[in-house]
Amino acid sequence: MKKWDKSKILELDRRHIWHPYTQMKDYENRDPKVIVSAQGLKLKTIDGEELYDSISSWWTNVHGHLHPALNHAICEQLSLLDHVNFSGFTHPYATEVVARLREFLPQELSHYFFSDNGSTAVEVALKMAFQFWQNKGVKEKTRFVCLENAYHGDTIGAVSVGGCDLFFELYKPLTFKTYRAPSPYCYRCEEHQGFTLSANHDCSLRCIDGLEKIFEEKHKEICAVIVEPRMQGAGGILIYPPSYLKKLRRLCDQYEVLLIFDEVATGFGRTGTMFAFEQAGVVPDIICLAKGLTGGYLPMALTVTTEEIYQAFYADYLEGKTFFHGHTYTANPICCAVACANLKLFAEEDPLNKTKEAREYFHKILLEAFSENPHVGDIRYVGYIGAIELVKDRKTREPFPQALRLPFKIYMRSLEEGLVLRPLGDVIYWFLPLCITKEDVSEIISRSQKVIEKVLKEHGAS
Ligand SMILES: Cc1ncc(COP(=O)(O)O)c(C=O)c1O
């Protein structure tokens, strides 16, 4: 085992590293955990502590850390080809990714554009949708519709179609104008009673009325709508019914608006099906994939679209219809190799079926652990994702004062209890890999319950 000097690492980190989504002053008097290795569901610190990776390292890890098949794929690839530019060249590893993914995606989605991460997959989708109408001569279709509480990444285009004010408001002057429709936030819906659970309910879908009105009035200028299917992730793990997506597809057809599904977080089994949109039985015009595409190992993304959209760009060069977009590491062969190994595991080992029981058990014990807690306003889950929304008052659904920073305190305390509970606003969530067992789930939820109850009690809230 390599010898590391912990104090040197922390000293260099403190002096020179600026971490993402982090108020660095919060770490003035505390050190970040130094992670040196990982295996399966667990991360290991330099001090030998083990932490359950209960958020799958930012929603990426699919089959557990250091899976032998994925490790092998990378090592093997390294003896052949490290990188080559992807314009004017191709390679077998990229074509194998496509061939393997075609086994899982609807055949209508037939053209694959590679990029590096979730945000770039979204940027590609937005530019593609915009240019589609321009290339067809429908020049006035230039605006996008997005949802409140949406999150599609941190680059400026992705922020423009975002709906979380925490990530959006400050940068608003830099963004392009969109139409923002209400969010399908079941827990905060007047019609809804009790916990959201899997949100597989029938309802009047009042939440889509606002969007329908925008389409009705403005469809001539709208090129596309973008949504996270089945669950708005960073907006607070807002799980909503598949019927919403069915209706959205109908509206898009009716008003000639392209439909973009951002499956960056929900793809690759996380919601219990390979892709979340399958649960609605509809097909989008464009889909964005990243995170789990490489099993959580390396950054790579895809934007996949239809023949109709592809054909709008396919022309003699001088017609000016080329899609001018690309990134240096597009379709990197090492990323492709690990993505192929990931897809091979899905094809040959059927992890979704294998861990169905553990997944259902996860839902059951989430309810058992939190339904009696008066400060848990909502419990929701889909597939390997679960969340609770903390409230000061369950009856009125009033949130705790932000100044208390309860979720942050829960996060810090969870690290002491050997797990990672990174909050999203007032929501504490679990984003588990597809290799979970009932024992892991049991341990993760009982530790979580302990931490949450302790912190609530310390603040006189239980
Ligand atoms: C739905 C969704 N889209 C896009 C992104 C952005 O992905 P990345 O962080 O890889 O840029 C995320 C990240 O969490 C996401 O959840």
Distance between CA atoms of 363 and 436, rounded to whole angstroms? Answer: 13
Distance between CA atoms of 14 and 19, rounded to whole angstroms? Answer: 10
Taking CA atoms only, the protein residue closest to ligand 1 atom 10 is 118
- Statement: residue 237 has pLDDT above 80: yes
C-beta separation of 276 from 259 below 8 A: no
**The pLDDT of residue 339:** 98
> Of 306, 328, 349, which residue constitutes the final position of a domain?
349
In terms of domains, do 37 and 78 share one? no
Residue type, 33: K
Structure-block tokens of residue 136: 């067809």
**The pLDDT of residue 461:** 72
- Evaluate whether residue 157 is within a structural domain: yes
* 3-state DSSP helix/strand/coil % of the chain, to nearest 5: 40, 15, 40
In terms of domains, do 167 and 218 share one? yes
Identify the DSSP state of 175.
S
Number of structural domains the chain divides into? 2
- Statement: residue 203 has pLDDT above 80: yes
Tell me the best of 60, 61, 151, 294 to mutate to test the pocket of ligand 1, counting ligand atoms within 8 Å of each CB and taking the most. Answer: 151
Q: Is any atom of ligand 1 closer than 6 Å to the C-beta of 244?
A: no
Q: Is any atom of ligand 1 closer than 6 Å to the C-beta of 389?
A: no
Q: Give 150-193 pLDDT, tens digit per residue.
A: 999 999 999 999 999 888 899 999 999 999 999 999 999 988 88
Which residues 6+ apart lie within 8 Å of 120 measured at CB?
A: 153, 155, 301, 327
Q: Give 42-73 pLDDT, tens digit per residue.
A: 999 999 999 999 999 999 999 999 999 999 99
Tokens 């790579």 map to which residue? 300
In terms of domains, do 161 and 90 share one? yes
Residues with catalytic annotation? 21, 151, 262, 291
Tell me the best of 263, 275, 291, 431 to mutate to test the pocket of ligand 1, counting ligand atoms within 8 Å of each CB and taking the most. Answer: 291
What is the mean pLDDT of the segment spanning 328-342?
98
What is the mean pLDDT of the segment spanning 395-422?
95
C-beta separation of 428 from 448 below 8 A: yes
Angle at 399 between CA 394 and CA 405, to 5 degrees: 130
Other CB atoms within 10 A of residue 377 CB: 24
Which residues 6+ apart lie within 8 Å of 146 measured at CB?
A: 152, 161, 162, 163, 178, 179, 180, 181, 225, 226, 227
Burial class (CB in 10 A: 0-12, 13-18, 19+), 177: exposed
What is the mean pLDDT of the segment spanning 393-400?
94
Q: Is any atom of ligand 1 closer than 6 Å to the C-beta of 290?
A: yes
Taking CA atoms only, the protein residue closest to ligand 1 atom 7 is 118
Q: Largest Cα–Cα distance in the chain? A: 70
- 450 vs 2, more confident: 450
Tokens 């809230």 map to which residue? 461
**pLDDT band of 1, cuts 50, 70, 90:** low
**pLDDT band of 462, cuts 50, 70, 90:** low
In terms of domains, do 127 and 225 share one? yes
What's 298's domain CATH number? 3.40.640.10
- Evaluate whether residue 244 is within a structural domain: yes
In terms of domains, do 237 and 373 share one? no
**The pLDDT of residue 278:** 98
Q: Give 251-286 pLDDT, tens digit per residue.
A: 999 999 999 999 999 999 999 999 999 999 999 999
Distance between CA atoms of 196 and 207, rounded to whole angstroms? Answer: 15
> Of 292, 327, 349, which residue constitutes the final position of a domain?
349
- Evaluate whether residue 52 is within a structural domain: yes
Q: Give 428-456 pLDDT, tens digit per residue.
A: 999 999 999 999 999 999 999 999 999 99
Ligand 1, closest atom to CA 155? Answer: 11
Distance between CA atoms of 331 and 391, rounded to whole angstroms? Answer: 44
In terms of domains, do 150 and 238 share one? yes
**The pLDDT of residue 19:** 96
In terms of domains, do 188 and 234 share one? yes
Distance between CA atoms of 431 and 54, rounded to whole angstroms? Answer: 6
- Statement: residue 2 has pLDDT above 90: no
Distance 311 CA to ligand 1 centre (A): 28
- Evaluate whether residue 1 is within a structural domain: no
Tell me the best of 56, 116, 119 to mutate to test the pocket of ligand 1, counting ligand atoms within 8 Å of each CB and taking the most. Answer: 119
Phi-psi region of 205 (alpha: psi -120 to 50; beta: other; left: phi over 0): left
- Evaluate whether residue 408 is within a structural domain: yes
In terms of domains, do 80 and 44 share one? no
What's the Cα-to-Cα distance from 135 to each of 9, 287, 319, rounded to whole Å? Answer: 52, 20, 9
- At 376, which helix (H) or strand (E)? strand 376-382
Distance between CA atoms of 410 and 376, rounded to whole angstroms? Answer: 14
In terms of domains, do 378 and 330 share one? no
Distance between CA atoms of 293 and 424, rounded to whole angstroms? Answer: 23
Q: What percent of the chain has pLDDT over 70?
A: 100
Quote the domain boundaries for residue 219.
72-349
**The pLDDT of residue 96:** 98
Q: Give 341-375 pLDDT, tens digit per residue.
A: 999 999 999 999 999 999 999 999 999 999 999 99
In terms of domains, do 55 and 86 share one? no
Complete edge-to-edge strand list for the sheet that includes strand 385-390: 376-382, 385-390, 427-431
In terms of domains, do 322 and 391 share one? no
What is the mean pLDDT of the segment spanning 206-234?
98
> Of 300, 322, 349, which residue constitutes the final position of a domain?
349
- Statement: residue 460 has pLDDT above 80: no
Residue type, 225: V
Distance between CA atoms of 240 and 198, rounded to whole angstroms? Answer: 8
Handedness of CA 356, 345, 419, 22 (dihedral sign): negative
- Evaluate whether residue 82 is within a structural domain: yes
Identify the DSSP state of 183.
P
What's 438's domain CATH number? 3.90.1150.10
Q: What is the 3-state secondary structure (H, E, C) of 134-159?
A: HHCCCCCCCEEEEECCCCCCCCHHHH
In terms of domains, do 319 and 180 share one? yes
- Statement: residue 234 has pLDDT above 90: yes
Ligand 1, closest atom to CA 153? Answer: 6
Identify the DSSP state of 34.
-
**The pLDDT of residue 252:** 98
Distance between CA atoms of 117 and 288, rounded to whole angstroms? Answer: 10
In terms of DSSP H, where are the helices of 162-255? Answer: 165-168, 209-218, 242-255
